Structure 1
């Protein structure tokens, strides 16, 4: 990951931008290229192949070659796993003995209605599909599926190969608390910790300590079989032990770490006695047991999708920079970052004198966000030196957070876009020499409890809304970004993709070019 991030700034050669396409069209095209790079069929064709030989066929995966002799089993869990399993089925065909996957409630019917047949298993498939985790919360249906996955793993022998498919949402779809704990016990403990302000790292430490399958538990259950995990990342940094809580990644579990977390938040005396018993009775994982037997392979990530978007933006003629895959934090701060970034880029594109105060404000906001590996000042200088008069595309990815404060409908991407538009409205006069759009969208096609994946903003959006009698502040105060965007004819500012069948967090596309009449 570090090596890849070291090459995030694009080649700055470019061709003249097409005059016929609107900036919004280009933003859509760049976004779709990002999504297409991590769709299950494409990802799996890159990662997996079966080579027929004069002897037993060979499974090629991640540089590994494994003989197929009626020994291949499959399990999976996550939001994108149904499409991943369908792609694997096409590749391995008759060589698969048996499979079980745990996927979100209702996903098969949703994909069927959307006409996405390539994301569905074939009739008579050897893979059983079990749906659960309604509203992305672990439930009894998901526990039943986890139990079936565990049964498959535990019956395997040394000659067998377990292919594991993992994507975002997998943690909720693989709940298996250590007996005698119940699912309700585990949920209550993590809820108490969350209410007391425990970090996500602390919550995951406790979850792994109380789970049979997380933190390498699944790979231990499959011992002595070979385990090959194909992983689609939905987390910043692509830490494999964080994605779905790392079921095939040997964790550095220590009971004292878990007990220290409980003590830190004053819960040692209030949690059920069985919790401490479970934590103290868990054996410390032995990495040697997995050595040479377990192979974890990252096949898709936000970085991979943005690299594809980068190439598409270059093809369209933009000076392009992939800034970061780690944009996170409160949407108020992130929207300020994008608003200032758009204003600064406008001055580059038009060649107007740049306010040092504005550029310093941008750098100060970026510094406060503490984005690893950003180096914004150097990136901006490279954009200027490349000659930005034909247009600039800046690409980012990650996942922001929103504090819901009303009863409206929306999602983090729509609210981000709307807040950027509100701030651009204050600087619209200074930006009038440019066309500017920001597209922010979820690669899974769903942004909050809405049918949209995200939205597009521009400096003119608030003025257009005012002509229609819409007060943007009222919508923001009600957390109703979807309600705002829905007011426009044909929903032209909403990004509506339908369920994509993949999930690598969010993508932001910022495009700036000189107005044609300037």
Structure 2
């Protein structure tokens, strides 16, 4: 192996170690138990939704073997794990299906059966909004599916999407908490959103809706004429005030915690970490250009950090599809392809970007890696990186190059993880 190939292999191995550390820092099996409340005198009824819901349910069972536990949670297909006392349902993500609708009904009814002496433990993580779908009448499930598809291609931020989702739901925006009353309710959450706002994680089923009094007509206008009429009617209704309550919501894992775990790996390897933030948003392709500029400045001028260093960031970028039929890819591979084009083969810079749940968009990869030779390798393979980026077909390019990262479902979700290594 040549010296250059060895450096490339070492850089790739270090980037992967940082990703693995970020995911491990959000593993319910290791982080959940210390956030549990005091054991209840009566029953503990567990409800929940999200990509980590099944793993969280199993962690509760293991932490409380002597507690009267029952309940139901819903997770994404393929993300279920064996449990003994808590029922696990699986449903579709990111576009909801009938299984998610049935699960939402079951979860709501389970919460409603809780008594005054019971503890309702809500296990909430990213993805729960689509997985636990209960449309507000007259919206139908098919209408809700159409809205979700529209939102995913809209370019709206996750916070804006959640305003819409809460208003269109009978279970989100605090309505699950209202169903659990008068029982004590404690929420354990894994954050996948900028700022760790509990009202945004799975659209906040157990916390008050902060946008309950807002006029959503500007968002209706941005969603355009393809918005189903029933959704338009609900979103344009005069806002109704919600009953006030103070939630007990505990963050057991966050993007910042995962970035700090990755930073520890970098320091141990003699690499200086620079955390750019856990809430970077915007178009994935534009974010790639911006971070390429920061990386080049570090490599050439030693500012804002001198090599050897790694730029770490989290958050959730967006991909606005427009009218063109897209290829295959998610926001992380689109970010990386844009980053590679902007770096233009700059020596000594390698990068990784991945979704910590193991699935970038709807594909079977978590993300990918790039290096100084990415564009040259694409050219040798007869691929045009610019055409693939313009066609939102980043997955196909990285698949051909053999640089996709496939972790399988990680059973957690603290959003996107990005690491740019300056050699």
TM-score greater than 0.5 by the shorter chain: yes
Query: Which residue is equivalent to 1:296?
Result: 249
Gaps of 5+ in 2: 1-5
1:411-457 C-alpha deviation (Å, 9 max, x unpaired) = 221222222222222xx4xx44xx22011111111123332211111
What is the SS of the residue equivalent to 1:329?
coil
Q: Among residues 212, 218, 224, which one is paired with 2:170 in the alignment?
A: 212
Per the TM alignment, residue 19 of structure 1 is displaced from its structure 2 partner at its CA by 8.8
Change (3 A) 1:255 1:455: closer
Query: How many pairs does the alignment contain?
Result: 414
Per the TM alignment, residue 186 of structure 1 is displaced from its structure 2 partner at its CA by 4.9
Query: Which residue is equivalent to 1:408?
Result: 327
Instruction: Tell me which moved more, 33-42 or 177-186.
Output: 177-186
Per the TM alignment, residue 272 of structure 1 is displaced from its structure 2 partner at its CA by 5.1
For 2:381 and 2:124, the matched residues in 1 are separated by 46
What is the SS of the residue equivalent to 2:72?
strand
2:153–2:319 Cα contact (<8 Å) kept = no
For 1:504 and 1:93, the matched residues in 2 are separated by 27
Per the TM alignment, residue 106 of structure 1 is displaced from its structure 2 partner at its CA by 3.9
1:177–1:212 Cα contact (<8 Å) kept = yes
What is the SS of the residue equivalent to 1:237?
helix
1:15-60 C-alpha deviation (Å, 9 max, x unpaired) = xxx9997111111111111111001212213423xxxxxxxxxxxx
Per the TM alignment, residue 191 of structure 1 is displaced from its structure 2 partner at its CA by 7.2
Query: Which residue is equivalent to 1:53?
Result: none
Change (3 A) 1:459 1:163: same
For 1:232 and 1:265, the matched residues in 2 are separated by 29
Per the TM alignment, residue 342 of structure 1 is displaced from its structure 2 partner at its CA by 2.1
For 1:277 and 1:445, the matched residues in 2 are separated by 33
For 1:175 and 1:423, the matched residues in 2 are separated by 40
For 2:235 and 2:378, the matched residues in 1 are separated by 59
1:210–1:279 Cα contact (<8 Å) kept = no
Query: Which residue is equivalent to 1:87?
Result: 59
1:209–1:279 Cα contact (<8 Å) kept = no
For 2:33 and 2:13, the matched residues in 1 are separated by 29
What is the SS of the residue equivalent to 1:320?
strand
Query: Which residue is equivalent to 1:313?
Result: 266
1:441–1:507 Cα contact (<8 Å) kept = yes
Q: Which has the larger radius of gyration?
A: 1
What is the SS of the residue equivalent to 1:89?
helix
Q: Among residues 266, 285, 293, which one is paired with 1:332 in the alignment?
A: 285
Per the TM alignment, residue 179 of structure 1 is displaced from its structure 2 partner at its CA by 4.5
TM-score by length of 2: 0.87
Per the TM alignment, residue 302 of structure 1 is displaced from its structure 2 partner at its CA by 0.9
Q: Does 1:75 align with 2:47?
A: yes
Q: Does 1:504 align with 2:414?
A: yes
1:286-324 C-alpha deviation (Å, 9 max, x unpaired) = 22xx34xx4111111111100111111111111221111
1:352-402 C-alpha deviation (Å, 9 max, x unpaired) = xxxxxxxxxxxxxxxxxxxxxxxxxxxx45x3xxxx35x111111112222
RMSD over aligned Cα, in angstroms?
3.3
Q: Does 1:486 align with 2:404?
A: no
Q: Among residues 77, 86, 96, which one is paired with 1:138 in the alignment?
A: 96
Change (3 A) 1:38 1:264: closer
Query: Which residue is equivalent to 1:394?
Result: 311
Change (3 A) 1:414 1:180: closer
Change (3 A) 1:129 1:438: same
Query: Which residue is equivalent to 2:21?
Result: 33
Per the TM alignment, residue 104 of structure 1 is displaced from its structure 2 partner at its CA by 1.6
Q: Among residues 469, 475, 487, which one is paired with 2:388 in the alignment?
A: 475
For 1:198 and 1:346, the matched residues in 2 are separated by 33
Change (3 A) 1:348 1:262: closer
Query: Which residue is equivalent to 1:440?
Result: 353
1:34–1:309 Cα contact (<8 Å) kept = yes
Query: Which residue is equivalent to 1:156?
Result: 114
Query: Which residue is equivalent to 1:452?
Result: 365
What is the SS of the residue equivalent to 1:98?
strand
For 1:130 and 1:403, the matched residues in 2 are separated by 31
What pairs with 1:255-404 in structure 2 (closer than 5 Å)? Answer: 257-258=215-216, 271=229, 275=233, 284-287=241-244, 290-291=245-246, 294-348=247-301, 380-381=303-304, 383=305, 388=306, 391-404=308-321
Per the TM alignment, residue 468 of structure 1 is displaced from its structure 2 partner at its CA by 4.0
Q: Does 1:121 align with 2:82?
A: yes
Q: Does 1:177 align with 2:149?
A: no
Instruction: Tell me which moved more, 244-253 or 213-222.
Output: 244-253
Query: Which residue is equivalent to 2:31?
Result: 43
Per the TM alignment, residue 337 of structure 1 is displaced from its structure 2 partner at its CA by 1.4
Q: Among residues 8, 14, 22, which one is paired with 2:10 in the alignment?
A: 22
What is the SS of the residue equivalent to 2:310?
strand
2:168–2:234 Cα contact (<8 Å) kept = no
Query: Which residue is equivalent to 1:241?
Result: 199
For 1:126 and 1:149, the matched residues in 2 are separated by 15
